[in-house]
Amino acid sequence: MKTLPVIVIVCVVMTLTGADAPPEAKSSDIQTAKSQLIKRSTHCPGWSEYNGRCFIFIPTHMTWATAERNCRSLRGNLASVRDVFEYQAIQKVIWSSTHAYPKTWIGGNYGGEKGFWLWSDGTPFHYSNWCRGEPNNLGGRQNCIQMNFRDYKCWDDEKCHLRRPSVCAKKIQ
C-alpha cells in the first residue's frame, strides 16, 4: 500500500519537471514546435486561441443557419476571417481535430446586393480567399461560405441548406 503514494509522487515530479520529453529532443526543437502551434486557451477552455479570439471546430454536420445558432449558443459566431494568418490558424484548428481539411462552414454570407458579403459577427469583410472563379452563385442561391474547397483549400460560395462541419469563434473577454 505504501508504493501507491510513491508512484503518484514520482509521476507528479516527472510531469512538473518535463521528464516525459524524449531525451533526444533538443529544447530548441521543442520551442520551435510550440511556436508553430495555436495555443490552447486558458480564457476559453477547450478552444484554441489566436490573436485575441478563441476558435473551435464543430464536427457535427449542420446547415449554415443551424451552425450559426450553435455557435451563438456557445457565445460566439461562425468564424470570420481577418487575414491570411488567421485563415491558416483556423485551418490548424480543423487539422488538429480531423487530420484533414474537410469543407467547413465559416461565418460569411451573402447580403443580397451584388458582390456584398457579410460576416455573421459584424466584422467588416476586408479579407477573402475565394477560389478562382468564385463566388459564382452556381445554380443560384449560393449564399454561404465554405472553406477548404478543392486542392487550394480556398473559399467557395455554397447553398446554405447543405450540411457541413463548422468553426466557431469568440472574442476573449
Per-residue pLDDT tens over the stretch 77-113: 999 999 999 999 999 999 999 999 999 999 999 987 6
CB atoms within 10 A of CB 27: 9
Per-residue pLDDT tens over the stretch 23-68: 333 343 333 333 334 555 577 899 999 999 999 999 999 999 999 9
pLDDT at residue 36, as a whole number: 37
Average pLDDT, the chain: 82
For the entire predicted model, the pTM comes to 0.75
Q: Give 163 or 17, the one with higher predicted confidence.
A: 163
CATH class held by domain 38-171: alpha beta
Give residue 115's pLDDT band: very low, low, confident or very high (50, 70, 90): low
Domain boundaries, the chain: 38-171
